[in-house]
């Protein structure tokens, strides 16, 4: 079936049009692509063929030039690309510029500047608190309802979906061990997250307000924040996670523009604590900050969890406002993760730590029990969001296979 | 006095030759420079004039190409530059390519990839432990003697010496406050550190051993890890420092090559705990991992502390081995800070937190008392290391002025 004839119900139809970077079969040249159904359009070639003024942003090896261009240009380019792939007048010119997805190599779509990871799901934070601090009066730390807790991660080890993940080695120390031991992690885990991609930069010393979220953030992707729980547990006091996370963070090869998710915007959960003005999204003028993304986590093709992103307590707009409230600047290519998405139900938890309650209740998979990940396991996150007229907007999946170190 | 006639005792003589990036007066063009005394040599222009094969690495707007070239090339370039600025045969060609330091603008010398900050001074860690956890049995956390604790910081807000630092705003909550309040930080502090600059990258999934430190690390600089203690105290449990640090990290404009510091290498302090093999530098084959750097901290020109870098418990080689032991890759331009340098004496503490014991004992400066930094304060770190024949090797200073937000 030719690309223009994408079926009506396809979650990657012309209402979606996520951006990525691909190489045609047999080539190592990187090109900006736009996904349509099971095809990818060579966006730079299409821009050249149709003499688009946006050609300089699209004939590139990464999305960074497009990301840097800012919201008005993002809308213009999306408008143009939509016409290219839907207007019958362009069909003859554009159709030869599509490649079958199955015949291209997909790459990390942008150069990551800084990577920040948040901790925005109340269900996740409470589960983790109960597991690690069972005697604490409150499973949340005292700051949790007042600010979106976050920390910086390693930008250099953000990898594209499909890249193998080498099981990390490191120090671990169980409560009964007299001294730490060294070896491959034996508690390798996932964290199902959504990643937000900053396009337009901001100036050092200037805060980015809640209302400026859409001026700076281009789009989102799925993100798997692989976590070695044994390494993390021994290292993280007092300065936070480091080697337990820094070996790899996988992102989907497709960045979904916020413009494709207009119909997925929802109000976040009711706030239980008053918020300081720079985080307060309860005023009537504030646009809904949540996104109704339906995530699915599969291990070796078997779905183990379906975390609902709409349950996240802190929104991406609040996270951006918080990240910059101290004057920290944004750069094109900054990536920030939502934090593990866990819903209120057991079947909605976004990590094995929670799904197996720290290994106590292993999952029963068709190929055996799992407390944590084994070598050879393939973890795949996928998701959809509601679009107009009952359509679904698909997010690019993020997948990774564990290989021994 | 012309550049070739730098006085014998000058800490920036031809035995030093740090690299930086400058713009001549009236120009915005960035060029690689080499410092000699109170002058900077236009290294790209010199390479062109002398038809050096290293011209492509030096005729650049940043040091990144040189950094990426690796140890053998670093040595060749240093050898060549030394000849350019000392051989009388080159004097007529090279001398016109010097600029007076006072007449150029200095820039951030390299594009920072990832920024990591460690916590490697036992004196600093014990002081902080006593201040923040006075009831703890041990002022060190149980992991401290087993691994160099570190965390990722914000690469995008690493700034060059001389750039103003805007006082950050954020949330703070005193023990008596019923809820957090928002405002400019009232406990703005410094951290006197040494920064290590990675040149040669490493592969994802591969560990970099202790013995490979000099193959990957090009040189070092002074680093001031500005810290808002009030913001940090409220946010840092459980995921570590974030906005209390991410507003700015200042580095000196000059990167001192490790090759200039051969005579400054010293053994680190005696280890009190056995180390896992990947961190064990006690074997006779291991080269001394410490550096005998004499740091000086001045506020508004008044010296308030003289932290000795030779007292650091964890070495830069151990930090690099630890940072990559989980398979995390290195990129050209990665920067990692040693952590605050504090010696055993009160006059050797590298932060106001320690110098004033969390504000209890303000410093008496000529212009008044200081518990923490006030707007207008200029903080300057400088340092020297022993060179051959009783010479001193100067490190480029790092300076920053606090301005109101």
- What DSSP state is assigned to residue B240? -
Same domain, A292 and A366: yes
Q: What is the ipTM of this complex?
A: 0.97
- The reply, when asked if residue B249 is annotated as ligand binding, is yes
Query: How many domains does the structure of chain B reveal?
Result: 2
Bridge partners (DSSP) listed for residue A184: A169
**CB contact, 8 Å: A231 with chain B?**
yes
Same domain, B309 and B184: yes
Residue of B113, B151, B171 with shortest CB distance to A242:
B151
Instruction: Take residue B40 and report the two structure tokens written for it.
Output: 């900077």
- Are A159 and B204 in contact (CB < 8 Å)? yes
**Percentage helix, strand, coil for chain A under 3-state DSSP, each rounded to 5:** 25, 30, 45
Chain B: residue whose CA lies nearest to A117: B239
Domain boundary (B57, B87, B106) is at: B106
Same domain, B73 and B126: no
What distance in Å separates the CA atoms of residue A72 and residue A54, rounded to the nearest whole number? Answer: 12
**What torsion do the CA atoms of A14, A16, A21, A22 make, to the nearest 10 degrees?**
-50
Task: Look at residues A148, A144, A140, A146 and name the one whose alpha carbon lies nearest to residue A118.
Answer: A148
- Are B152 and A151 in contact (CB < 8 Å)? yes
- Are A243 and B322 in contact (CB < 8 Å)? yes
**CB contact, 8 Å: B166 with chain A?**
yes
Residue whose tokens read 């991660």: A153
Residue A1 scores a pLDDT above 80: no
Chain B: residue whose CA lies nearest to A152: B152
Residue A136 scores a pLDDT above 90: no
**CATH code of residue B67:** 2.30.30.230
Same domain, A168 and A83: no
**CATH code of residue B338:** 3.90.850.10
Same domain, A56 and A170: no
Q: Which of A200, A238, A275 to mutate to test the interface with B (most CBs of B within 10 A)?
A: A238
Domain that holds residue B234: 115-403
Same domain, B96 and B148: no
Task: Look at residues B161, B277, B280 and name the one whose alpha carbon lies nearest to residue B224.
Answer: B161
Same domain, A87 and A195: no
What distance in Å separates the CA atoms of residue B180 and residue B155, rounded to the nearest whole number? Answer: 28
A60 HSE (CA, 13 A, CB side): 18
Residue A4 scores a pLDDT above 90: no
How long is chain B? 405
| A 267-326 near B (Cβ less than 8 A) | 274, 276-278, 322-323, 325-326
Which of A54, A107, A124, A216 is an active site residue? Answer: A124
Note the pLDDT tens digit of each residue in B292-347. 999 999 999 999 999 999 999 999 999 999 999 999 999 999 999 999 999 999 99
Residue B1 scores a pLDDT above 70: no
Residue whose tokens read 């993304």: A293
Same domain, B51 and B131: no
Cis ω for the linkage preceding A308 (within 30 of 0): no
Contact B218, B198 (CB under 8 A): yes
**CB contact, 8 Å: B398 with chain A?**
no
What is the reported pLDDT for B132? Answer: 87
Is the model more confident about B104 or about B282? B104
Same domain, A57 and A138: no
**CB contact, 8 Å: B247 with chain A?**
yes
Residue B184 scores a pLDDT above 70: yes
Same domain, A67 and A181: no
- For residue A191, what are the contacts with CB-CB under 8 A and spacing of at least 6? A224, A225, A226, A227, A339, A340, A350, A351
Note the pLDDT tens digit of each residue in B135-153. 888 999 999 999 999 999 9
Domain boundary (B51, B77, B106) is at: B106
**CB contact, 8 Å: B146 with chain A?**
yes
Note the pLDDT tens digit of each residue in B6-16. 999 999 999 99
Domain boundary (B106, B125, B156) is at: B106
**Percentage helix, strand, coil for chain B under 3-state DSSP, each rounded to 5:** 25, 30, 45
Contact A225, A151 (CB under 8 A): no
What's the mean pLDDT when you consider all of chain B?
97
What distance in Å separates the CA atoms of residue B382 and residue B324, rounded to the nearest whole number? Answer: 30
Distances (CA, A) of B351 to A133, A237, B340, B359, B401: 32, 21, 7, 11, 16
Instruction: Take residue B133 and report the two structure tokens written for it.
Output: 């956890």
- What DSSP state is assigned to residue A348? G
Instruction: Take residue A301 and report the two structure tokens written for it.
Output: 């093709």
- The reply, when asked if residue A214 is annotated as ligand binding, is no
Mean pLDDT of A383-387: 98
Number of A–B residue contacts, CB under 8 Å: 186
Active site residue B55: no
Contacts of A229 in chain B (CB under 8 A): none
What distance in Å separates the CA atoms of residue B345 and residue A253, rounded to the nearest whole number? Answer: 54
Residue whose tokens read 């004097």: B91
Residue A405 scores a pLDDT above 90: no
Same domain, A239 and A352: yes
What distance in Å separates the CA atoms of residue A223 and residue A229, rounded to the nearest whole number? Answer: 18
Helix or strand or coil: residue B231? helix
What distance in Å separates the CA atoms of residue B10 and residue A199, rounded to the nearest whole number? Answer: 47
Residue of A147, A152, A330 with shortest CB distance to B153:
A152
What is the nearest CA distance from A239 to chain B, expressed in angstroms? 4
Same domain, B235 and B319: yes
Q: Where are the alpha helices (DSSP H) in B275-344?
A: 316-324
């Amino acid at each position: 079936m030719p690309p223009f004839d994408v079926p009506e119900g396809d979650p990657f139809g012309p209402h979606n049009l996520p951006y990525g970077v691909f190489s045609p079969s047999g080539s190592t040249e990187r090109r900006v692509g736009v996904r349509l159904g099971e095809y990818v359009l060579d966006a730079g070639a299409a821009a050249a063929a149709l003499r688009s003024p946006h050609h300089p942003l699209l004939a590139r090896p990464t999305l960074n030039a497009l990301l840097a261009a800012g919201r008005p240009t993002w809308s213009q380019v999306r408008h143009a690309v939509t016409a290219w792939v839907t207007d019958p007048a362009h069909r003859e010119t554009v159709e030869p510029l599509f490649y079958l997805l199955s015949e291209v190599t997909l790459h990390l779509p942008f150069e990551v500047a800084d990577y920040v990871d948040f901790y925005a799901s109340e269900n996740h934070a409470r589960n983790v608190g109960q597991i690690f601090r069972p005697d604490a009066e409150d499973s949340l730390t005292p700051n949790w309802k007042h600010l979106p807790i976050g920390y910086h991660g390693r930008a250099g080890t953000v990898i594209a979906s499909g890249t193998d993940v080498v099981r990390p080695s490191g120090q671990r120390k169980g409560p009964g061990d007299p001294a730490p031991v060294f070896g491959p992690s034996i508690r390798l885990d996932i964290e199902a997250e959504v990643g937000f991609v900053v396009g337009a930069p901001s100036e050092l010393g200037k805060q980015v307000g809640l209302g400026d979220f859409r001026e700076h953030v281009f789009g989102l992707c799925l993100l798997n924040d692989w976590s070695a729980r044994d390494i993390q547990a021994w290292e993280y006091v007092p300065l936070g996670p480091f080697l337990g996370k820094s070996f790899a963070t996988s992102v989907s090869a497709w960045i979904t523009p916020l413009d494709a998710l207009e119909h997925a915007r929802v109000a976040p959960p009711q706030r239980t604590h008053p918020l300081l003005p720079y985080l307060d999204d309860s005023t009537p003028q504030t646009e809904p900050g949540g996104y109704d993304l339906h995530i699915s986590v599969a291990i070796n093709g078997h779905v183990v969890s379906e975390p609902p992103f709409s349950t996240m307590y802190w929104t991406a707009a609040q996270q951006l406002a918080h990240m910059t409230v101290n004057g920290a600047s944004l750069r094109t290519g900054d990536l920030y993760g939502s934090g593990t998405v866990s819903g209120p139900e057991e079947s909605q938890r976004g990590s094995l730590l929670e799904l197996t309650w720290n290994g106590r209740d292993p999952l029963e998979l068709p190929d055996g029990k799992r407390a944590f990940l084994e070598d050879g396991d393939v973890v795949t996150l996928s998701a959809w969001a509601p679009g107009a007229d009952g359509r679904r907007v698909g997010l690019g999946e993020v997948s990774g296979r564990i290989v021994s170190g």
